[in-house]
Amino acid sequence: MPNLTLYHTSGCHLCEQAFELTQQLGIQVTLMDIVESQRLIDAYGVRIPVIQRADGEELGWPFDAESLQQFINA
C-alpha cells in the first residue's frame, strides 16, 4: 500500500468527506493539518483536501472512489 498523506484542516467539510472516502475504501492515510505550518497553509490553504503520494504527486478535490483508486495504483 502506498504511503499517502491527506492534507486537511479542522472544520473543513470537504476534508471530512475525503477522509470518509479513504476509510470506506480501506485506504490508510497520514493526516496532516495544514495549520501546523505556514508553508502548508501557503501551499494548500485554498486547495484542501489534497492527497499526496510518496512520490510527490497530488490528487486534489474533487475526487471520487474511482479516481482515488486510479491515483493510488498509478
69 has pLDDT over 80: yes
33 has pLDDT over 60: yes
Contacts 24+ apart (CB under 8 A), 50-56: 50/6, 50/7, 51/4, 51/5, 51/6, 51/7, 51/18, 51/22, 52/4, 52/5, 52/7, 53/2, 53/3, 53/4, 54/2, 54/3, 54/4
pLDDT bin (cut points 50, 70, 90) of residue 2 is low
30 has pLDDT over 80: yes
Domains of the chain and CATH, by start: 4-73 (3.40.30.10)
pLDDT in tens, 37-46: 999 999 999 9
- In the predicted model, what is the mean pLDDT of the chain? 95
pTM of the predicted model, to two decimals? 0.93
